[in-house]
Structure 1
């Protein structure tokens, strides 16, 4: 399989979910809506809007229904939501969200600490959600995020063979659905060559045509942008990022925020890869996010003089 440079890439903005939930004190709903609107105005048309989880587990997501209601049904805007179980999937579908995101960690230890289930039990949950999506929508779409696809804070480096085994089981239980698979660098410890090998080996083994491939990176070790660029050379067409670098995983000690959308956009722009995102407006949205109380942000481009950043 030869590497290639794509002409276009879809960016999925994850600050409204992965980012907001990293802030412990609940944010006003109006502030969240204002930030999301700024992201949409910047040209980000795929938004991970939040998660349908118990408010007791994640109080930050207690207003997800109100936020979805503000944006659902807008032409050209694709909203997705993370669902941890069948109940979450039912709630999301009832609110009109047609793109569901489900997370399974490749690492048994991380999956246990994250969702208190074995990997096998999480795959059973995936099957239940897949069945629900088939029942609700003949053209159903499901996004599978495979956490700790490269490294686990408890088990160390994760080989591509382990990722492949979990993915193969997941493909069996989601047969017939439009499936998007994201390999997630949960700890941010992956390096570009590991990312390249993982995508290359698994796409050769499984076949790349029936699945849309995505990459979700963190920037803990400063490799977020480089990892994403190596991923798109291996057939990845969807990249997750969070404006201002907001985010972090409470079950991955030491992991910092997601790769900053603006940093990734700069690299893609410089390489001639089209995204449809306006840098000046994106930086305005990132400034709003950086101003949220309690958030931890990290972005290189926001430190550059603005005139040079948008040139």
Structure 2
């Protein structure tokens, strides 16, 4: 892809807040629905507009997500919010649309081992599920495709770029105008790998107009990988407030890159995010304190320490 233009409007990024889904799903103690809605409202007030509010999945597999229909219904009280929900199958996608969802995220893995561990089927079978879902939902429902283990798999190791591109070839043909997000599920991707894949994929599939990156920070490279994708022209990035998260089906993976860290980096670069960092840090502090949560990130603590030092001075 060509390097980013100097026009600030073209350099602006969209941050997709995924904490209420990716951040919560691995937490054992159930977070009260009212608490989830309160935190959601504060994230919206901080300027986050597109938020992944939950997933339509088996309540047995992910009990934390059992109130997603209730959270989705509550989104009506936030006019500026654009909620999206994750679905792994045609059936769950139908359920989400019936509940009022108008933006779906369909997820499947490049790695067969991870896909079978996650949704009990091969990637090719998930691709067929995706095709059936596209045929089943109304045209006014927006679709995003999350390609998990696009860089690395907890079971198979590093994923060859050719393998990711081969699956993309099949999936892009099904819906060329879908937003496509490449996911570093384990947090083991490196900036060179991210840069190469985000250079090659848009060149191979110019019909795709919106690419995104879902980065985890397991090995401390989350921000570096985001920056590598940004240099290749990517402008949509997932992040989780307080760095909450970790894939239940990727042993050892920690949370997404922290939303506050992402905002801090981009604002320091002169790249607009539309997010009020002070308001975000306030809700991130409360998110980090959720019982059973695994928080990450650096900016939240750094700003808190700075404020304390100023108060003492």
Number of equivalenced pairs: 304
Deviations 1:224-261 (A, max 9, x none): 01100110111212100000000001221211111000
Deviation for aligned residue 1:84: 1.5
Contact kept? 2:288, 2:295, Cα under 8 Å: yes
The aligned counterpart of 1:296 is 294
Contact kept? 2:44, 2:78, Cα under 8 Å: no
Rounded Cα–Cα distance in structure 2 between residues aligned with 1:32 and 1:76? 17
- 1:110-259 correspondence to structure 2 within 5 Å: 110-133=114-137, 136-137=138-139, 139-175=140-176, 178-207=177-206, 209-259=207-257
Rounded Cα–Cα distance in structure 2 between residues aligned with 1:286 and 1:121? 38
Contact kept? 2:188, 2:219, Cα under 8 Å: yes
Q: Match for 2:74 among 70, 78, 94?
A: 70
RMSD over equivalenced CA pairs, Å: 1.7
The answer to whether structure 1 residue 103 and structure 2 residue 104 are counterparts is no
Rounded Cα–Cα distance in structure 2 between residues aligned with 1:83 and 1:7? 30
SS in 2 for 1:65: helix
Q: Match for 2:65 among 58, 61, 64?
A: 61
Deviation for aligned residue 1:172: 2.0
Q: Judge which range, 57-66 or 186-195, deviates more.
A: 57-66
Segments of structure 2 that go 5 or more residues without pairing to the other structure are: none
Rounded Cα–Cα distance in structure 2 between residues aligned with 1:285 and 1:30? 15
Q: Match for 2:54 among 45, 50, 54?
A: 50
SS in 1 for 2:178: strand
Rounded Cα–Cα distance in structure 2 between residues aligned with 1:42 and 1:205? 37
Deviation for aligned residue 1:140: 3.5
Q: TM-score, normalised by structure 2?
A: 0.93
Contact kept? 2:172, 2:208, Cα under 8 Å: no
The aligned counterpart of 1:19 is 23
Deviation for aligned residue 1:73: 7.0
Rounded Cα–Cα distance in structure 1 between residues aligned with 2:108 and 2:43? 27
Q: TM-score, normalised by structure 1?
A: 0.94
Rounded Cα–Cα distance in structure 2 between residues aligned with 1:55 and 1:77? 25
Rounded Cα–Cα distance in structure 1 between residues aligned with 2:101 and 2:46? 22
Deviation for aligned residue 1:308: 4.8
Deviations 1:65-102 (A, max 9, x none): 11111113743321100012122111211222111001
